[in-house]
Structure 1
C-alpha cells in the first residue's frame, strides 16, 4: 500500500479547519472538515481524528468486530466535541465531518458523516463510496435537483449531519473489497466543489506518482478559486 496526503488553507479562508490522519501502521486514513467560530472548527476536526487514531490503535489489538469498535470510538469522540461546544462559548455550535477508511489487507472499512467523500478509482471508473449528508445531497438523491444544479446551489454547504452537533449522531458504514491497483481518495469538499468526479479520475489516472497526483488536484482547485480549505489522502493498493 502506498499513500500521499496534502492539505491547504485555500485562497479565501484565514485558517485551515480541515484535519487529516494518516496512520499506515494500523491502516487508518481519515479526513475531517471542521465548522464553527474562531478556530472552533479546527478544534472539532482535530479532536475527532486524534481520538479515533489513539483509541482505534488500542482496540485493534483485541477487537473481533471492527465496525462496532469504530462506532463506539466515534460516538465517544462525538460526545467529547459536543461537551466542549456546550461548555465553552468560543466553541458554541462547532462540529465536523469525518470520512475515515481503515484498510485491513484488501478489506476497506469506511465510517462517514457529513459531506467529505471517499472515492474508488478502479480501471477507468470512479465510484463515490459515501453519501453526502447535506441538504443538496438529499435533494439530489430524491430527484429534486440535477447534478449540474447541485454544483452551484446556494445551500450546497448546509449539512444535515455532522459530529458534535448533538449528544449522539448517526454514522454511515461501508465495507468494500479492494484489489491491486485500486486507488482510494478521501477528500474534503474544498476539492469536490471545484472538480467533477471525472476530472478527479482523469488527473489520478494520468499520474503514477501519488504525490504529483494530489499536488495537481490541489493546484486545479486553487486555480478555480480555492474557496475553502482543501484536504485529501490518496491510497493505492499494491
Structure 2
C-alpha cells in the first residue's frame, strides 16, 4: 500500500440509527518520536456519531485514498509576525460593534451549533481596556449529543475566560508580569471543555473557534473546521487552519483547493473536542487594523458562500447584524444543508 495507506487505518461502525461512522487515524513520520495520533472522524452528512477507535485496513478490509507521498518534510505552522501598529485615535464612544446569528438551515431537524459573545466595556478614570470574547462551536453526534457538546464547550470556555481575563481586568491585574499569557488561557479553556465533553457526553463532540479581543489584538484558539477570517479593505484572509482530511491532503500536495471542495470526504475531521484526552489546540495572535472585521463561522456558511462573496456582503453592510442576516440568507438560498452560524466583529476606525 502507498503512503496514505501507511498513514491511515479505517474501520466502520454502525450507530444506533443505522448510520455508518468511519474512524481514520493519521500519523506523519518525521523520524522523531511523536504523540499518539488523533482519530479522524468521518460523519455522514449529519456527523451522527463520534467514537475513538483505531483499526488497520487489514482488520476491516477498508481502503484509504490511493494517493502517494510527494513530500518528506512535515508541515510546520509558524507564528506570523504582527504587522506594524497603525496609529489611530478613536473618537470618544467608539467601540467594538458586533452581530451574531445561528440558523438551523433548510435540511437539519435541530441546530447543533452554539454561539456566544461577551463584551467588557468601561468608561472611568481607571482607563480599563476594552475586552470581548466571541465563540462559535459546531456540534457533532447522534440525537442531541452534538448540541449538548457545543453548548457545554461554549459555557466552559466563557467561564474560564471570565475567571482568568475579565475578573483580573476588574482587579487591575492584567499588567502583572507573572500572569499567564492570554493565548495560554484560551488553550486551557478549550482543554477544560474537552475534558468535560469527554466525561459527560462521550458520544458527542464539537469544533470550537474562539477569540478574545483585547484592545487591537485578537487572541484566537481553534480546533476543528469552524473558521476565523480577517476582512479589510484589501481583501479577506482565513486565519485559522482546518483540521480536516482534505486540508491535510492539500498540504501534502495531494489535492488542490478546488478538488477539496468537491471531495467526498471533505467533512472528515482529525481533531475535535471530545475525542482525545490530549488535545492539540491551535493558537494565533493577530493585530486588528482600524475598521477591520473579524468573522467567525461554522462550515454551514463557508461551505455554501465563497470567500469573496462573504467579503462583499460584509463590506456592503454598515451594521454587522445586517451582514449576518444576509450571509445566513444566502447560505439558505443555496440549499442550507447544514446549520449556519456567524459572528461578525467590527473594529473602530
TM-score (normalizing by structure 2): 0.65
1:34-113 equivalences in 2 (<5 Å): 34-60=139-165, 61=168, 63-86=179-202, 92=203, 94-113=204-223
**For each residue in 1:77-115, what CA deviation from the matched residue of structure 2 results, as whole angstroms up to 9, or x when unmatched?**
1111001234xxxxx2x1100000100000100000000
Q: Secondary structure at the match of 2:201?
A: helix
**For each residue in 1:122-178, what CA deviation from the matched residue of structure 2 results, as whole angstroms up to 9, or x when unmatched?**
113100000000111111222211221122211111101000111121110000011
Q: Which residue of 2 aligns with 1:10?
A: 105
1:1-238 equivalences in 2 (<5 Å): 1-25=96-120, 26-60=131-165, 61=168, 63-86=179-202, 92=203, 94-238=204-348
Structure 1 residue ranges (4+ consecutive) displaced by more than 3 angstroms after TM superposition:
none
Q: Which residue of 1 aligns with 2:14?
A: none
Q: 1:64 offset after TM fit, Å?
A: 4.1
Say if 2:148 and 2:201, in contact at 8 Å, map to a contact too. no
Q: Secondary structure at the match of 2:276?
A: coil
Unaligned runs of 5+ in 1: 87-91
Greater CA radius of gyration, 1 or 2? Answer: 2
**C-alpha distance in 2 between matches for 1:179 and 1:84:** 41
Q: Secondary structure at the match of 1:226?
A: coil
TM-score (normalizing by structure 1): 0.94
Q: 1:59 offset after TM fit, Å?
A: 0.6
Q: Secondary structure at the match of 1:218?
A: helix
**C-alpha distance in 2 between matches for 1:64 and 1:170:** 18
Aligned length: 232
Compare relative contact order (CA 8 Å, sep 6+) and give the higher one, 1 or 2.
Answer: 1
